Amino acid sequence: MTSNTFALTALAASFALLAGCASTPNETASADNDAMAQNYAAGGPQGQAQADNDLPDPRALSNEQQALLDRTRLLFDFDRAGLRPEHQAIIEAHARHLLANPEVQITLEGHADERGTREYNLALGERRAITVEDALLMQGVPRKQLRTTSLGEEDPVVNGQSERSYQENRRVELKYQNGMHASAY
């Protein structure tokens, strides 16, 4: 019985010793990372030249992204300052552009149609501009890149008293400053 106990203890100790000698997944991953870093520094197959060629130019825009940036007029419903669902992608594209170009500033110009008093339309245009500003801020755009203003009914894009002209005049225009427009990239 004593020899069986001794044999089992020796066998268990052998397994414990072997398990202690094996490399752990973290050690293996660390060794792989060290090898890749050395290879990268040496300019090997994983080196800088290949990495640079694989990365897209951060200023290069897809046609879809450029089309979204070219949309600088957001239309609003009658007597409303809430964003429409179709505005989301446009706002996200402008936010990405502003974040990638911290020197660029944008003025958010709120407008209203001619219905209502001058004071009411100025306030409505301001609410619309602030709504767009808030959406850009939520995307991480710094406040220092944004400016809001309201022209109310004073600068219609379409003259007339049809529903179509009213719709075109209920808007926020995104106007890039410093001579930099989103389509310039």
Least confident range from 14-18, 79-83, 139-143, 181-185: namely 14-18
Structure confidence by residue, pLDDT tens digits, 95-106 = 999 999 999 999
Structure confidence by residue, pLDDT tens digits, 12-64 = 444 444 444 444 444 444 444 444 444 434 444 444 444 444 444 445 567 87
Mean pLDDT of 96-125: 97
Q: 92: burial class by Cβ within 10 Å (0-12, 13-18, 19+)?
A: middle
Rounded to whole angstroms, the Cα distance separating 35 from 9 reads: 40
The closest alpha carbon to 76, from 127, 37, 116, belongs to 127
pTM for the structure as a whole: 0.65
- Which band of pLDDT confidence, cut at 50, 70 and 90, is reported for residue 120? very high
On average, the pLDDT of the chain sits at 77
Residue 66: predicted pLDDT: 84
How do beta strands 73-75 and 146-152 pair? unpaired
Residues paired with 111 in a beta bridge: 152
Structure confidence by residue, pLDDT tens digits, 55-83 = 444 455 678 778 889 899 999 999 999 99
Distances in Å between the alpha carbon of 168 and those of 26, 62, 129? 60, 28, 15
Residue 107: pLDDT over 80:
yes
Residue 59: predicted pLDDT: 54
* E strand or H helix that includes residue 175: strand 171-176
Structure confidence by residue, pLDDT tens digits, 152-171 = 999 999 999 999 999 999 99
